[in-house]
A and B are shown apart, each in its own frame.
Chain A
Amino acid sequence: MLSLTPQDIEAIALSVKVATAATLLSLPFGFAAAYLLVFTRIPGRAVLEGVVNLPLVLPPVVVGYLLLLLFGQSGVLGPVVHFLDIRIIFTLKGAVIASAVVGFPLLVRSIRIGMEGIDDQYIQAARTLGAQWWDILSTIIFPLCGRAILAGMTLMFARSLGEFGATIILAGNIPGITQTIPLAIYEYTNTPGGDGMALSLCLVSIGLSFVVLLISEATARSFRKR
């Protein structure tokens, strides 16, 4: 029933790699963005909020196309990319960036909710005890929104596992490099007689998501015990 070709196994491994990389890469930025939005009053907060939330409301294909315009040969950041001698289009980096951008708002949203739930009085107490803002960030804020960070990471990881639109535009469909599970399934759905394979991959996808969910729940529970 579950028949997977070596190319399929590659797709699964790639999906996990891309989702993990995208989540880990986005984490520091997501945390910083959430902190800026919740605890500071910097000018331009509204703009930051808009930019962060944009990928959430745009169709992923649009996001992918905008990224293409940004990083392409003739793109805005083209010269920079060229100068640094790195390739984004049609590479693993592109797939990671596509997933990272699309999932970013989910991560920030989760962390924000966690941060907003922190009682301001803990922060006041810490200030009177001599802690500077970075100290408060690492000793008070970060530990207290651990659950929210984890929830955000899980959400983002799951979203990345399913990312298709932006990925196919920015990273293309290259088996072994950028062909993640959704792209592989898509290819099978275009192939007469490919239904069995598509279904197998679908089952794997469901299974993976399940595992991620279970891990997230278990870790959240261990947080609660403290």
Chain B
Amino acid sequence: MEIRKCILFFLLSLFFFSALPALAGEVRLSIAASMTDVIKELVSSFGKEHPEVFILPNFASSGSLAKQIVQGAPADLYISANQKWMDYLVQEDKIVAATVQVFAYNSLVFLGRKNPQVRTLGDLTTLSLIAIGSPKSVPAGQYAAQAMEAAGVYEQLAQEHKLVMAKDVRQALIYADRGEVDGAFVYRTDGLLAQNAVVLFAVPAGLHDRIAYPLGLTHAGTTNSEAQAFMAYLKSPEAVKILNRYGFEEAVTEQ
């Protein structure tokens, strides 16, 4: 008798908890790692005006996030650090094409241990270890690789095994900040967060694709009114101010 009651209770609570997401007032975000801090603040300021909404952000490299969404992870809103992964999800019919628009822009810098000798991409070959987000899944790494290739140093650095693959741009930042590598390619916005490392030079924007952050809603997101409310908030003047403060360039609403 006791055991049956326990099993019943167990099954009920399972059902109850699994039904929770269906309850209104919840928004799931999948956000590129480089936007961790700015989104956290945006979520908190949105929450002041909409306290009943429960926002769950998930931060990782854009590639991992795209992978997760394709595999069925729940998400309402996705912000990627490059267009490639957004296009991928649209293609996989996970993101509604009509909802896609550019949210913000960023630029790439190289930061690391103070070193007056390193001023351009060409000088990188004199260093022993450079961290970049893994180009396979981290947009910052892809942009960095693009820039290094354009400067003609990528091949050499890869062959000499000087590149440390980080799982996202934040990890690359930590490696540089801790001094375990001589330098890392990170976004300008991340450079502002560094404690010990200094920006050695800005990567010329012409050497890589424009760093644009598209955002889009999943099918679940389009039926979630709170998600849409949040998305609208992201384009508000208040949100733009916060964006700028963190170093991002806002997208001029042309799309």
Contact = CB atoms under 8 A, between A and B. Distances in A.
Direct contact between the two chains A and B in their complex (CB within 8 A):
yes
Interface of A: 72-73, 89-90, 172-177, 179, 187-194
A192 B70 contact: yes
Given A72-B180, A190-B63, A173 B134 contact: yes
16 contacts: A72-B178, A90-B129, A172-B164, A173-B165, A173-B166, A173-B167, A174-B129, A175-B163, A177-B161, A179-B165, A187-B137, A189-B67, A190-B137, A192-B66, A192-B67, A192-B85
Contacts, number: 62
Interface string B57-73: 00001011011001000
B164 A73 contact: no
Interface of A (DSSP majority class): loop
B67 A190 contact: yes
A192 B63 contact: yes
B233 interface: no
Nearest to A193: B88
B47 interface: no
Contacts of A172: 131, 164-165, 175, 180
A174 B67 contact: no
Interface residues of B, number: 25
Given A89-B180, A90-B129, A90-B180, 6 more contacts: A172-B175, A176-B158, A190-B167, A191-B137, A192-B85, A194-B67
Interface of B: 61, 63-64, 66-67, 70, 85, 88, 129, 131, 134, 136-137, 158, 161, 163-167, 175, 178-181
B161 to A, nearest CB: 4
B161 A174 contact: yes
Interface of B (DSSP majority class): mixed
Which 3 residue pairs are nearest across A and B when measured between Cβ atoms?
A: A173-B165, A176-B161, A190-B137
A172 B164 CA distance: 7
B165 A174 contact: yes
Contacts of B61: 190
A187 B165 contact: yes
Contacts of A190: 61, 63-64, 67, 134, 136-137, 167
A12 to B, nearest CB: 16
Contact of B164 (A174, A191, A192): A174
A173 B67 contact: no
A192 B163 contact: no
Nearest to B181: A90
Contacts of B88: 192-193
A194 B179 CA distance: 31
